[in-house]
């Protein structure tokens, strides 16, 4: 027995494909066999499995469990759940050695995929390629595993609520917040959480519906925050929180309807955390604003710029002992009093906590930030075979100049005008650009530099690609 995956589904951070075209039950079975074999060879035997609200998820779950059992590992099923619930089940249970969440994250409804944790660490990059090589060779152990079902929701909600420990109940009781689950897998957990939270809470789209009938669940796209913005304005709420399809990424709107982007949220979390844990290292990805890195340093923290990608950031946190990290995409990782994984529900709780502890409204915290002019992520289609080569060409051309280049992940160039970034996406056939300046004229000059570099490699920004 062997299996060959479609080459497009084995991604850097996870396994992802289009149902019925590049991904199906046979792939899920092979993933189960490979993952279980690797875990057994490392001395483990129990894997927790969850799935998101997509129409295809239950079929993939069935096949995945078959594969895990056939290679001799036992399965603990937690059923339909947000990805952070799977991470929680894996991190908090002593009798679990690994976890697999079936999720298409924020991708269109016809996509699905797998996010994995192996003995407490992210499973990505070479690990995922190994699953492919093992399948090709049929290099799987045989055995017989068991299946048990475990309810984790109540325990998970209790753990989330501990994020408000020690805060004046009266301050929390005065808060009025809007929440948008976007018909994603976080809906049931959000309902259970809101029922227990102090304050007044208004919920949108908590029914799990894998066709996403109201708006696409990607909080990094401003159009997807329109319903939440309207709710905050109509009810005159303090702020609003939105989730992606599987609940591991957060988006936010302040009381005035302004988006609080990923790096701006991290600035709020950093201010709160550094008051309690001075001199901490705080990690952000290369797409984050210079204002964040400057602010962390100002507050006595140690800012660290790192590669984009939730698995890469989690690994860097473990290596450096950083208690907080985040990405522009809304993944935020708390390891001070939590487990260090990305959990948007917990990030929502921590936004309440930060506002209370800093004694400022979320709108005030947003107003206090430096007013930088920056572009959103500009994503444009580039052929898979060209995307990394183009970045190498840009690096080469800049190496002979006096440009200040950071090549942690792609090319980030800093000048008197500000900075610009070009990097290749690890998950799609796109290049990502971003620029930031204090002035419009500076921003225009930075964008011209990006265009000049692209033109020199025979490319142009052209049509923006979707997420």
DSSP state of 225: G
47-70: b (≥16 Cβ within 10 Å) or e: bbbbbbbbebbebbbebbbbbbbb
Q: Which of 3, 56, 12 is nearest to 31 (CA)?
A: 3
For 300, the token pair is 């006595």
Residue 105 annotated as catalytic: yes
The dihedral sign for the CA sequence 269, 270, 274, 279: positive
Q: What is the DSSP string of 168-213?
A: -HHHHHT-EEEEE-TTSTTHHHHHHHHHHSSSEEEEE--S--TT-S
Strand, helix or coil for residue 83:
helix
User: 56, 57, 71, 105: which is the annotated catalytic residue?
Assistant: 105
Residue indicated by tokens 């078959």: 66
Phi, psi of 192 (to 5 degrees): -65, -40
Structural contact between residues 219 and 330, judged by C-beta atoms closer than 8 angstroms = yes
Catalytically active residues, by annotation:
105
């Amino acid at each position: 027995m062997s299996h060959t995956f479609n080459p497009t589904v084995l991604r850097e951070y996870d396994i992802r494909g289009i149902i019925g075209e590049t991904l199906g039950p046979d792939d899920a079975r092979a993933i189960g066999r490979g993952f279980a074999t690797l875990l057994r060879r490392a001395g483990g035997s129990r894997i927790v499995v969850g799935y998101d609200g997509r129409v295809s998820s239950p079929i993939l779950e069935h096949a995945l469990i078959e594969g895990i059992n056939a290679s001799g590992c036992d399965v603990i099923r937690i059923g339909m759940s947000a990805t952070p619930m799977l991470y929680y089940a894996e991190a908090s249970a002593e009798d679990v050695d690994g976890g697999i969440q079936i999720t298409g994250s924020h991708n269109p409804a016809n996509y699905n995929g797998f996010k994995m944790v192996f003995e407490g660490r992210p499973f990505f990059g070479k690990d995922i390629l190994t699953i492919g090589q093992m399948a090709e060779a049929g290099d799987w152990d045989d055995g017989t595993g068991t299946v048990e079902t475990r309810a984790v929701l109540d325990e998970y909600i209790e753990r989330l609520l501990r994020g408000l420990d020690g805060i004046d109940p009266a301050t929390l009781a005065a808060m009025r917040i809007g929440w948008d689950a976007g018909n994603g897998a976080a809906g049931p957990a959000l309902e259970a959480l809101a029922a227990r939270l102090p304050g007044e809470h208004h919920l949108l789209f908590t029914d799990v519906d894998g066709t996403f009938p109201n708006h696409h669940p990607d909080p990094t796209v401003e159009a997807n925050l329109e319903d939440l913005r309207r709710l905050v304005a109509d009810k005159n709420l303090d702020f609003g929180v939105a989730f992606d399809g599987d609940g591991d990424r957060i988006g936010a709107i302040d009381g005035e309807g302004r988006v609080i982007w990923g790096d701006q949220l991290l600035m709020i979390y950093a201010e709160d955390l550094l008051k309690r844990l001075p001199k901490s290292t705080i990690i952000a990805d290369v797409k984050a604003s210079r204002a964040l890195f400057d602010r962390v340093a100002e507050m006595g923290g140690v800012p660290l710029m790192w590669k984009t990608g939730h698995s890469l950031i989690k690994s860097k946190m473990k290596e450096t002992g950083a208690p907080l990290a985040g990405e522009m995409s809304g993944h935020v990782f708390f390891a001070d009093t939590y487990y260090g994984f990305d959990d948007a529900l917990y990030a929502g709780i921590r936004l309440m906590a930060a506002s209370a502890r800093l004694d400022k409204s979320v709108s005030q915290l947003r107003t206090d930030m430096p007013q930088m002019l920056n572009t959103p992520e500009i994503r444009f289609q580039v052929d898979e075979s060209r995307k990394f080569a183009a970045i190498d060409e840009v690096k080469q051309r800049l190496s002979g100049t006096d440009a200040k280049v950071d090549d942690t992940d792609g090319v980030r160039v800093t000048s008197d005008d500000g900075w610009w970034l070009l990097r290749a996406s690890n998950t799609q056939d796109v290049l990502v650009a971003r620029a930031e300046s204090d002035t419009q004229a500076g921003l225009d000059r930075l964008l011209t530099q990006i265009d000049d570099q692209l033109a020199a490699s025979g490319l142009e920004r052209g049509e923006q690609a979707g997420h």
